[in-house]
């Protein structure tokens, strides 16, 4: 396609990398529970949602499930809200296939992780060719996903991101390394219209001050109003208010999102009255002995009171 066709979306604000609930009996995607969660999250002024991200257990979803989730999100997204879909895969061909399917199902943009299985062969030249090929073929704008380095991934050099930022259909990056100095490098070295988002809910405020436009943060699944308010308040210059909010939810990010991952997040959602459920095997449910720990973390952040549970 002509890569100049895609319009750059406004990626500013707080996005949520939503979880995928599964039926406890069949193990299938529970689309009713998924819709209920979305309705709750969309009550806050978030900028949109990411479907089939790391928090959504993308590695365990088949193509039909991704399409079903995207269609549901597209039906419920608020006016001016965006639906982003994770479409990264190990082969360029399959990534393009997933990307086209996502666009057809209603995605406004796609988030593409780098191929990492043959890590030693993934030179900057190879990775650049992969992202350019996907962006050339994509009907919607492409965001690069710098996956957290604790997962199976590669660390993308800033110079490579700066080069890719010149592609007309590569519009931004979600950087989940959790390092503010690297966010600053990306802001400084990429093109002016390239949009940097962070994946760490503990760094959202600081990243906005550094020049990022927003974040795709899992802590917002539990502290939706607060995470959304950080972006809104920053835009309105209410730095004192949002500084307090950031401090309050940073501990939730560090202790639940980073240390416990998807199982911990899903357990927290259950405590908040949302549909968390069990992760899909081989991920295991959080041990019962840690539920009280999660409850204490949420209580310390005033989230259980806010949720009314």
What is the set of active-site residues? 174
Closest CA to 260 of 294, 237, 302, 214: 294
Give the CA dihedral 176, 178, 181, 184, nearest 10 degrees: 40
Report the distance separating Cα 47 and Cα 286, nearest Å: 30
Label residue 40 exposed, middle or buried (CB < 10 Å: 0-12, 13-18, 19+): middle
Report the distance separating Cα 186 and Cα 172, nearest Å: 10
Opening angle at CA 175, ends 20 and 85, nearest 5: 35
Q: Are 50 and 84 in contact (CB under 8 A)?
A: yes
Closest CA to 132 of 144, 122, 121: 144
Q: Are 139 and 150 in contact (CB under 8 A)?
A: no
Neighbours of 33 (CB within 10 A): 18
- The residues facing 142 across adjacent strands are 110, 170
**Residue at token pair 């390239």:** 194
Neighbours of 42 (CB within 10 A): 18
Report the distance separating Cα 112 and Cα 114, nearest Å: 7
For the chain, the straight-line distance linking the first and the last C-alpha, in angstroms and rounded, comes to 50
């Amino acid at each position: 396609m002509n890569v100049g066709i895609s319009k750059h979306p406004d990626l500013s604000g707080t996005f949520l990398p939503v979880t995928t609930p599964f039926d406890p009996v069949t193990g299938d995607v529970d689309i009713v529970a998924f819709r209920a969660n979305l309705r709750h999250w969309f009550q806050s002024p978030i900028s949109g949602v990411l479907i089939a991200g790391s928090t959504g257990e993308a590695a365990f979803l088949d193509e039909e499930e991704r399409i079903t989730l995207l269609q549901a999100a597209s039906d419920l997204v608020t006016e001016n809200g965006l639906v982003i879909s994770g479409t990264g895969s190990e082969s360029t061909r399959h990534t393009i296939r997933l990307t086209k399917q996502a666009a057809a199902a209603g995605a406004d943009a796609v988030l593409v992780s780098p191929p990492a299985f043959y890590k030693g062969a993934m030179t900057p030249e190879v990775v650049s060719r992969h992202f350019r090929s996907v962006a050339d073929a994509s009907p919607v704008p492409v965001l690069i996903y710098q996956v957290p380095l604790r997962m199976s991934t590669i660390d993308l050099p800033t110079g490579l991101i700066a080069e890719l930022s010149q592609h007309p259909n590569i519009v931004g990056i979600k950087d989940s390394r959790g390092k503010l100095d690297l966010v600053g490098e990306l802001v400084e070295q990429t093109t002016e219209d390239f949009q940097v988002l962070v994946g760490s809910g503990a760094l959202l405020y600081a990243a906005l001050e550094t020049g990022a436009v927003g974040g795709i943060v899992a802590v917002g699944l539990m502290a939706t109003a607060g995470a959304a308010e950080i972006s809104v308040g920053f835009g309105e210059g209410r730095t004192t208010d949002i500084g307090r909010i950031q401090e309050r939810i940073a501990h939730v990010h560090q202790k639940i999102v980073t240390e416990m991952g998807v199982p911990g997040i899903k357990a927290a959602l259950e405590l908040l009255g949302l549909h968390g459920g069990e992760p899909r095997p081989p991920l295991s449910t959080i041990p019962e002995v840690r539920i009280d720990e999660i409850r204490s973390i949420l209580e310390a952040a005033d989230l259980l009171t806010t949720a009314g549970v």
